[in-house]
Structure 1
Amino acid sequence: MNTLSHIFHLGWLVKILWYPMWISAYIVKVFSEMYIIVISLFSISRYFVYYSLAKPSVELTQNCVKAGIRVISGLMIFKDLVLFNWLIVVLEIKEYKEMERILGYYYGIHLTYQLLLFLAAFLQIPILCSTSKAEIEPSRPEKLIYFQTVLIAFSKLILIPTLLFLLYKGINHSVLSAIFVSVDLLLVPIAVQISEICNRPTAVRSAELQMGPV
């Protein structure tokens, strides 16, 4: 009986899954940060291409996307390594006041690419409201990226007043800051899935039109 109770006790399972769980969470975190920066940069570049006099033929190629993913992912991992090593040094020398500075740098970096996201989404507004037809029709991957940029930014803009209201009600600002940072872990995958669902019928219809009547 003691053996059976030990088997069904979940403490050992928690210990086994503890490190893989945090590693998986970190991978999702890096992916979310990288993805927001990449789609923001591509969306901003679209604005300048759209209003360019030369109208260069640019397309979101697979090599371009892979290069952006590699560079931004490397920068995100390097940033985390620097802050993590700094945290270890602070804990070793027991200068706990420095932890607030580390958090300040982390939140500052996070806020920087959130502002980049808002800028990218804001630049899409005149393009979406423009009545003139673009000379270069964006490809489906490009449309997905522009849609995701606006959707994620709009969702974050809705979240900000909610967090401010909770702050006014007395919720700890550290908790709200953690929510604002970690919400990307759920928001980015959801936005990707929504954009795929919303753009899939258009892709199917265009394929049927290209095939023509049988």
Structure 2
Amino acid sequence: MPRVRPGSSSGTVSSHANQLLNKLKDHVGSGTLQPERAHQLFDKLLRQAVPISACALNGLFAALARALPSAACTDGPALAIALFNRMAREGRWVIAPNMYTYTILIDCSCRSRRPDLGPAFFGRLLKTGITADVCTFSSLFKCLCDMKRIDEAVGVLLHRMPGDMPDVISYSTILKGFCNEGRSQLALDLLQMMVKKGAGQSPDVVSYNMVINGFFKEVK
């Protein structure tokens, strides 16, 4: 885990660090960021005397997560994971990652077709004592479903998330996982559970269509 300089503040970022971050994000936006160049600029960033804010790093990682494949970089999400792992491995003086950092990295795990990394990042988040939010859990569910570990995702949904936290997106991620595996009856059971819970967990049109289409696929 990256070390935090005593007394550092997440709002303290040098102007040079900001310039480097902006340069990285500009390259991401224009599709000209090569992985080798990213590592070079990131090394300069980590050598700054003033710690880097988690918010600034999250902006870079989020940009990489959304980056379309280009001739310069075919996998932005994988690059975000590589940069984070390098930072953690070398133990540079940076602000500790926060909930948003890990949520982005879990999402990057799905986008880079490495869903197995998602639960590992989620475990690191829990070890820090950081509280996950609904977006973090939803990204984790996507990874678990991609790994065919849907029953585990259901267990987390029903027994590890605070009762008022799950929303329709959380449930729908798992509904889709069941339907993709030809287990539409279990998806229907979960849909009925959503109806009983009501409030923010009530199914929407997308949820119903997902389950209906799942049954249609199974009878073909």
TM-score, with structure 1 as normaliser: 0.27
Which structure is higher in helix share? 1
TM-score, with structure 2 as normaliser: 0.27
Which structure has more relative contact order (CA 8 Å, sep 6+)? It is 1
